[in-house]
Structure 1
């Protein structure tokens, strides 16, 4: 009887936890960010059909409603070549976010500070927060800051993205993907800089323009996302953020000691998250979970899947705390997601695997939270310190 009661308590806890999911990085409106390369609109049917799909829509209003996510950080993005006007592309995405909230009949709130988010959650509502992935071409001047931050409501900014730019150096991706930053990666082939574990890293740090922009964002209480920063850039951004009282934030990452690429988070960077009570978003993506085999079972085609994701989750929690790890799914972000799982009793076991945002509640359940709402509470506590009350 005691065992049965314990099982029922766990099931009840998992059911509650699945409604309190936190997603730190999801591109809901990627058609406006990628133009003709992307298949599908947010206001349209899902176009993805499998975990392998990278550039087909994995999110729409119905899927987002089914997701069980209580708070979603919606990452806005504008491709520098595929969008004729990067600022206009981001404006269009902001308007889509506002439209979604308007048409949600009060179920969703577009929050610009932690107080608004708390009030929404307390009222049983769900929260959308706007982020920008890659500032160059969108936020470069005081006028841009006024438009996109002060009036547009962007509250999280990944200053750096895939390619070194006027703001600074970016983290190299794994293997051939390193050529996303072609010139810097090419130079590193002949004169490599490596971290303490021998991983090739980008020697480029922040530029003077990047330091100025980081200071301006901090001054406006914008939360700096360090997920794509090179080690050299992060070595400057982390002290700046800490001095401003900001918890350290990595919205979508994985462990470098397995990934063996600069794009993964280091032990030292995880320690900074722990010390500041920040938050990490883990990526349910096979390309970011490489290096876990043979100790962890793989899925179809030998790709790392749910066991690898959960193994990394356990490791990160040991450092930052069980409440410090959220999802960083990079929905619609041009990546593959988890191949079919086994034994979860959910749609994650089907041939399509984890392929759309509506399955987030099922993935969140497998993560077994310390208590219902714990990650959400930590996120809100951290956000409060980004923009403290006057």
Structure 2
């Protein structure tokens, strides 16, 4: 009844587009179940598009990718205070290290396994989230050099995260990042991957590309900017959210619709019931906000309050052409005539990221080849 079609062709295209723009290595972030697209589906497509590595936030996500057969390099960087890194070392996960205690824990896991742990250093250059603070860098990098010499640790990269607070702040963060890279080199460690730019800086700030970029939402074909569409950036949205009509009901003028009758039909019409609700990530606050879907290729309004499992569409003049089981598209690629996810995001005063990540587990993710195969 409810399906998110994931175009692997679109993801391949988007990653290739990023590679074309940057000329360096591309890390594709597939945290939060691949931004709601399905982490394994997204990882496979990204790697097929030329990604050098995929990345997650936490270790559990990274290990799940291994369980799904993803054998390529995986980076993860958000760790609990008592995490045991043994599974990460055994599974060849590259561990993002943000402070000395984490580095020691990683080295201890490697020692216990008789193995070598692979790490990348995450440094804070102004976002004020996770990442080693500047006053920690000297001791952290010096200890890393000792652990490298002892054969317990291999350092493959260094990275930070921009606050997207304007060009001046981006450049200030880049200066701090340069200092961190210099500090790592000063102890004799030359990182293979140096990455600061996420999707926004990748698409607009080539001076911040270094030798690697780390993209999330751009890989899924969504624009990180309010003033540019995906198509204008050369990207293709990968998710199409579809459902089917499970009931059709002709009603007279004056009929109230759904809870509270906050919508009353002004004229006789036909209502279609669609089995997706707020339990599936369709925001209840879209009630009466002007959202629409496509039915039989035409725009039709969502009416009445959205329920936990379902919502209602006024299909009006289409009624005679519709049958149970006919397709409803909630959002997808506007170049294919579908509503863009940005309509929901705009009505909700949020970002497209939040909408796609919020699509619930009852919605089946189905990989399709897509338009860019």
Asked if Structure 1 and Structure 2 have the same fold, meaning a TM-score greater than 0.5 normalized by the shorter chain, the answer is no
> Normalization by structure 1: what TM-score?
0.39
Which structure ranks higher in relative contact order (CA pairs < 8 Å, sequence separation ≥ 6)? 1
Q: Which has the higher helix share?
A: 1
Q: Which has the higher strand share?
A: 2
Query: Looking at CA atoms only, which structure, 1 or 2, has the larger radius of gyration?
Result: 2
> Normalization by structure 2: what TM-score?
0.41
